[in-house]
Amino acid sequence: MTTMVHWLQHETAGLLTLAAVSIALLLVLIIKLKLEPFIALIVVSIAVALVAGISVADLVGTPAKSGDSLLEKGFGSILGHITVIIGLGTVLGAMLERSGGADVLTTRLLNLFGPKGAPLAMGVTGLVLGIPIFFDIGIFILAPLVYVAAKRGGKSLVLYAMPMLAGLSMTHAFLPPHPGPVAAAGLLHVSLGWLIIMGLACGIPAWFVSGVMWGSWIGKRVLVDVPDELVPEEEEADTANPPSIGLIAFIILAPMLMILAATVSDVVLKEGRLRSTLTLIGTPAIALTIAVVLALYLLGIRRGISAPELAKISAASLRPVGMILLVVGAGSFFGAVLRATGIGKALADSMTEVGLPVILSAYLISCALRIAQGSATVAIVTTAGIIETSISAGHYSPAQIALIVVAVSAGSIIASHVNDGGFWIVSRYFNMSVKDTLKTWTVLETILSVVGFAAAGLIWLAI
């Protein structure tokens, strides 16, 4: 037994075996025992650390030095980076939702594209509103609008739903302030500005192929009627005094433009007041704070919403964020344990010996984790923890690291099936059987994943 433990602790083959066993155990706890992912990640991390010989003091600290423990460093290193961003992004999305902005945007695009272009209009709506609004919330908001478009067009609901779903899924997977890409960017130490650039460059082609091209093709072959009863709305948006389309576009795009300006200024401008100013307002937390303050005033106070009501909207929007942050923090702890045990280095060395490019390895690991356990967030944070040592040792440029994040994110959405909560949301809200959901949504997610990764790979070869 002692010999076996020594082999696991010190030999490359032993470390790789320990890595494989830890991932298998993680999947068993999540899939078979239905344990919450953040608890499963903590349990597996502690078990791996102890088996690998990390001392209890290093793992959990001592009363005198608890802040130096792997547990606190693992959680704190990532949560300090992403908590503010995710929280502010969530409040921004809630304000856009409650203001009636979704209805304004959809109506304008439907009028612009006309009846024949209604599927594309729904796709653009999903793409734009998907930036500040979480995937499932986006479905809740836009599903009734998709029903209206499908009723007017007299065609299958699939034809109108697929482009919108592709837009929501792409932005949720590839762009900040969504939890997955923000967490991966934090774990792999790349700016959100670079992630926005590469996320858009890879995500928009993937959205067009999966949502518009595939959606148009499959929408003519899978015929689904509009449900007789629309889903009940928990909160009604303010449609009596809707905001202008220009105001909605400004609030959605402002933080992204500020972040991009900071990234560009860091490359093209010399040290000085202008660069410092752009860096300040382009810091993601600052940019989103500015956007939230603008939204609270322009969409709230100026339109007659009281301060207590704004506080209620903000508080309600933040309730679902807690579990996301716990999963991300636990995933970061898992990655910290992998680095401390030497497993991260062993995996990095093995990938180098096999000859797989790190971007391909990252994609394949993320795909495997996604297919096995269903959660995109778990797939992203676990994969990022596994490959972090390889990235740190590889001396990659910020653009290359951003492409690796895109690859991880692309892998995290492949082949959505019955172990993914999003699969059942899509099935329920768009009146599809399991078979039809597999034929439409599962294939869409796979195309979105493969095309997004292919775009990242092509850009990787070009830079």
DSSP string of 108-171, one letter each residue? HHHHHHTTTTHHHHHHHHHHHHTTTS-HHHHHHHHHHHHHHHHHHHTS-HHHHHHHHHHHHHHH
User: CA 13 → CA 73, 160, 326, 342, 346, distances in Å?
Assistant: 27, 51, 31, 12, 8
What is the model's pLDDT at position 232?
38
What is the model's pLDDT at position 233?
46
Q: 277 pLDDT exceeds 70?
A: yes
User: CA 195 → CA 15, 200, 254, 266, 286, distances in Å?
Assistant: 32, 8, 16, 15, 17
What is the model's pLDDT at position 226?
80
Q: Give residue 11's identity as a one-letter amino acid code.
A: E
Q: How confident is the model at residue 1 (pLDDT cuts 50, 70, 90)?
A: very low
- Of the chain, the percentage scoring pLDDT greater than 90 comes to 34
| Mean pLDDT across 27-43 | 87
- Say how far apart CA 463 and CA 302 lie, in whole Å: 47
The distance between the two most distant Cα atoms of the chain, rounded to a whole number of Å, is 73
Angle of helix 157-174 relative to helix 118-129, nearest 10 degrees, comes to 20
- Say how far apart CA 161 and CA 179 lie, in whole Å: 24
- Of the chain, the percentage scoring pLDDT greater than 70 comes to 92
| Mean pLDDT across 225-241 | 54
What is the model's pLDDT at position 68?
73
Angle of helix 70-98 relative to helix 101-113, nearest 10 degrees, comes to 60
Residue-wise pLDDT for 348-381, tens only, equals 667 667 778 899 999 998 998 888 777 888 889 8
What is the model's pLDDT at position 22?
84
Q: How confident is the model at residue 237 (pLDDT cuts 50, 70, 90)?
A: very low
Considering 313-327, 329-343, 434-448, the range whose residues carry the highest mean pLDDT is: 434-448
Residue-wise pLDDT for 177-229, tens only, equals 888 999 999 989 999 999 999 999 999 999 999 999 999 999 999 999 886 65
- Say how far apart CA 222 and CA 427 lie, in whole Å: 13
What is the model's pLDDT at position 228?
60
Lowest mean pLDDT among 73-87, 233-247, 265-279, 402-416: 233-247
CB atoms closer than 10 angstroms to residue 348:
21
Structure-token pair, residue 298: 């322009």
What is the model's pLDDT at position 229?
52
Q: Which residues contact 201 (CB under 8 A, 6 or more apart)?
A: 455, 459
Q: Which residues contact 335 (CB under 8 A, 6 or more apart)?
A: 74, 187, 344, 381, 382, 384, 385, 386, 388
Q: 8 pLDDT exceeds 90?
A: no
Lowest mean pLDDT among 128-137, 210-219, 408-417, 453-462: 128-137
| Mean pLDDT across 154-167 | 94
What pTM, to 2 d.p., does this model score? 0.80
- Name the residue ranges covered by the structural domains of the chain: 2-462
Q: 5 pLDDT exceeds 70?
A: no
Task: Indicate the burial class of 216 (C-beta count within 10 angstroms; 0-12, 13-18, 19 or more).
Answer: middle
Q: How many residues does the chain have?
A: 463
- Say how far apart CA 338 and CA 388 lie, in whole Å: 9
Lowest mean pLDDT among 103-117, 118-132, 359-373: 103-117
Q: 236 pLDDT exceeds 50?
A: no
Average predicted confidence (pLDDT) for the chain: 85
Q: How confident is the model at residue 109 (pLDDT cuts 50, 70, 90)?
A: confident
Nearest residue to 396 via CA among 408, 407, 404: 404
Higher local confidence (pLDDT), 226 or 406: 406
What is the model's pLDDT at position 397?
95
What is the model's pLDDT at position 352?
61
Contact 52, 9 (CB under 8 A): yes
Q: How confident is the model at residue 230 (pLDDT cuts 50, 70, 90)?
A: very low
Q: 153 pLDDT exceeds 90?
A: no
Give the Cα-Cα-Cα angle 448, 401, 420 (nearest 5 degrees): 35
What is the model's pLDDT at position 198?
97
Nearest residue to 21 via CA among 8, 34, 11: 8
What is the model's pLDDT at position 145?
81
Residue-wise pLDDT for 280-297, tens only, equals 999 988 999 999 999 999
Q: 337 pLDDT exceeds 60?
A: yes
